[in-house]
Amino acid sequence: MAEHLSQSELDYPFKLLEYFNGFRISKIIFSACELGVFDLLLTSDPLSAGQIAAQLNLSADGAERLLDALVGIEILEVDTTQATALYSSTDVSSLYLARGSSKSLWDMIQYQSQTIYPLWNNMADAVREGKNQNEKTFGLPSEQIFQAIYRSEEEMLKFMGLMNSSWILDGHDIVTAFDLAPFKSIVDLGGCTGALAREVSRQYPSSAVTVFDLPSVTEAAQKHFTQEDDNITFQSGDFFTDVLPLADLFVLARIVHDWPEEKCLSLLRRIHSVCKPGGGVLLVEALLFENRRGPVMTQCFSLNMLVQTEGRERTSSEYIAILNKSGFHNVQVSRTGKCYDAILALR
């Protein structure tokens, strides 16, 4: 930004003020989701602020202000040609923000609002200390990151919903970044709800696809996230300590970024030891640019790894180095142009 500012932008910092207010925009959307605004408008004709307030048990004044802000950021529409303003959904709010939509990000939003947002209140301390803020935010031990994330069934389901939403958006681009058809047995380590495994199975129906995750996670996944046309299986275990299943390809999606390098090396070496000759590993991560100039979203993700886990986001060269140290070679990198990218390495 600083290298390309016009004189008018230097005279009045519009962009900087927009950044300052970014958290307010987030909370406008988060609050509307929590209050059920998008769910109501998905299934109704245009409504006035008073009607929305009455149906959702809100104050009329508060509802009107929130609705107008949603119109301002182009999440809702408003018709002011009548005596009373009438509010309605946009394609974006109907598709991504209403809970009933097939591409709903409602679960992601709940997790961002109720878990990530409080953690980020302690970002300055995370930067000072170089460690996560689970203890300060939630009163939980900083060393046990997944015990913090899975601290109750409710919190575990929130996190699983977040992961499920991620692959609703990015799953197809990930599984088609490379031709995975030659791999006839595929294991998604830490595959959570099975959302990415489901995409793999749909794209490569001749491959057997298994999700390997902690017992509590696989139980919840099969209880809350299965679909009628599922062609995936679940197996319980801890990929750091338990015997890993044999496979042609192991998928690690948003796993390696959780940990410092030594723990990543330990996991990848375990995978290498059971990987069949000609088999490989597919890493799915948000890649930083080598020149340190972005992507901004990935830089934000890396700060989130600081405030919540022990890990970080990395550049493609850093992932290649870790894979090579673990015994994997013939590394290929595919940038999808979306949030998450793919790295395929062979044994």
Active site residues: 257
Distance CA(131)–CA(11), nearest Å, equals 38
Distance spanning both ends of the chain, measured CA to CA: 43
Assigned token pair, 198: 């489901």
Q: 256 vs 239, 260, 315, 323, CA distance in Å? A: 12, 8, 12, 11
Contacts of 244 (CB under 8 A, 6+ apart): 187, 189, 212, 237, 250, 270, 271, 274
User: What Å distances lie between residue 84 and 44, 48, 78, 250, 293, CA to CA?
Assistant: 17, 7, 10, 57, 47
DSSP structural state of residue 4? G
* Strand order, beta sheet including 208-213: 232-236, 208-213, 185-189, 249-253, 280-285, 341-346, 329-334
177's tokens: 């970044």
Cα radius of gyration (the chain): 22
- Residue 130 · residue 124 · CB < 8 Å: no
